[in-house]
Amino acid sequence: MDALQLHLLTNHVPIVGTFAALLVVVVGMIRRSDAAISTGLIVYAAMALVAIPAYLSGEEAEERVEHIAGINEGAIHEHEEMAELSLWFTVISAVLALGAVVTHMRNMKISSKIALAFVIMAMVAFAQAARTGHEGGKIRRPDLGTTPAATHEAEHE
């Protein structure tokens, strides 16, 4: 498996996996279920780890596709810039998730505050990762960056 294949295989996991784990944490908080919260936090950290190979394989994936006809090189650059920010937000969220688990296991009162900080940061990370994914889609599908009206007008010019 080369870097392009690895990138394409792994790039959706951090977006979908971390979002699903975040939902488990939020539902656990609403239902006051420590088991659900802990499970969601641990799954989030595991899913966040996949962001690392997704990010690291991006540069070599870029080199493989940047000269192919129909590839939007501007979108590659935008995707790359957004991906770095997504990685940082996701890693920070994962550290908060693990911090919440550890402090909860040690019966520290601060664990609920860390869990709340995790939820906020994880929402920011998800929003950024979703934007990054959307920009990645524009690399091969430049029409994703246009409105339906603009696409329709461009087709008739």
Nearest to 39 by CA among 104, 91, 109, 128: 104
Nearest to 23 by CA among 11, 34, 37: 37
Per-residue tens of pLDDT for the chain, all 157 residues: 888 888 888 889 999 999 999 999 999 999 999 999 999 999 999 999 999 999 988 888 888 887 887 777 888 888 889 999 999 999 999 999 999 999 999 999 999 999 999 999 999 999 999 999 888 888 876 666 654 444 444 454 5
Instruction: Note if the pTM is more than 0.85.
Output: no
Contact between 60 and 10 under an 8 Å Cβ cutoff? The reply is no
- For 49, the domain range is 3-155
Tell me how many domains the chain contains: 1
Return the ∠ at Cα 89 (arms to 83 and 93), rounded to 5°.
140
Q: How far apart are CA 138 and CA 144, in angstroms?
A: 6
- DSSP H or E stretch at residue 18: helix 13-31
Q: How far apart are CA 26 and CA 73, in angstroms?
A: 38
- pLDDT score for 16: 95
Q: How far apart are CA 112 and CA 61, in angstroms?
A: 40
